[in-house]
Amino acid sequence: MSQIHPTAIISPEAAIDDGVTIGPYAVIEGEVKIGKGTVVEHHASIGCREGIVEIGENNRFLPSCAVGGIPQDLTYKGEKTKLVIGDNNTIREFVTINIGTQKEEGVTKIGNHNLLMAYSHIAHDCRLGHHNVVANSNQFAGHVHMGDRIVIGGGCLINQFTKIGDGAYVTGGSSVNKDVPPFTIVQGDYAVMRACNKIGLQRAGLSSDEVSNIYKAIRILIKGKNTIEESIENIKKECQPSENINYLIDFIRSSERGLAF
């Protein structure tokens, strides 16, 4: 059975699975679905009158987070949009996550096994993958797309419509206004690529040969005065073909905002 504190306020539209814990003075508003094993701590707020929030299993929402509120977007006029959160995520104190807008499928989406630390903001239509760590006081503008196994240091500003590739590391205090290629470390205001994230690759369990292969590709991309296409051709010539190398090349070619050089 679920454990719901008598002071919690639960919308009649909410669907709460068995095994959910909801603490004192928590508020669940509107169409909210919460999967089993999820814990909503005291004073947390989930949902809104306008939107739909779907939450998977074994998540934890810490006190005073505000999840599933309306977008901070002047074009939003109360449309029925969504926030979808997967499994095994931790949403820390004072984190805010907004539902989507109709500009991009109407969904803000958080994957599985993510840690969002205190005071971070995830705006409308953002997409976060899996196994990411977002440190304290990060500010994501709308439509940011973020892959898997990414670390964002504290106090970063992420521009709208930017993409951050798998395995990247954004150092604390950086401002990101261009796409961050996979497996790179970026730093600065505005952030630029500094190195390959070798430690992140090793922690992800890649073989030493593949880490070296990706390291070579990132060096080719960062060093020298070649054009993007010339760098891609050099990566194809000098690096062993692999799923990760193909992903890196595809990411570079698909960038619309330009890369963080």
> What is the rounded CA–CA span in Å between residue 165 and residue 223?
19
Crossing angle between the packed helical segments 208-222 and 243-254, to the nearest 10 degrees? 20
| Chain mean position to CA 94 | 16
Q: What type of residue sits at position 152?
A: I
Of 30, 35, 56, 124, which is the active-site residue? 124
Q: Name the pairing type of β-strands 191-196 and 184-188.
A: antiparallel
> What is the rounded CA–CA span in Å between residue 38 and residue 52?
17
Of 35, 47, 69, 125, which is the active-site residue? 125
Comparing CA positions, the residue from 194, 199, 159 lying closest to residue 176 is 159
Is 86 a residue of the active site? no
Q: How far is CA 90 from each of CA 68, 112, 118, 257, rounded to the nearest angstrom? A: 15, 10, 10, 30
- For residue 87, what are the β-bridge partners? none
Is 131 a residue of the active site? no
Is 124 a residue of the active site? yes
Of 51, 86, 142, 147, which is the active-site residue? 142
Q: What type of residue sits at position 148?
A: D
Q: Which residues are annotated as catalytic?
A: 124-125, 142
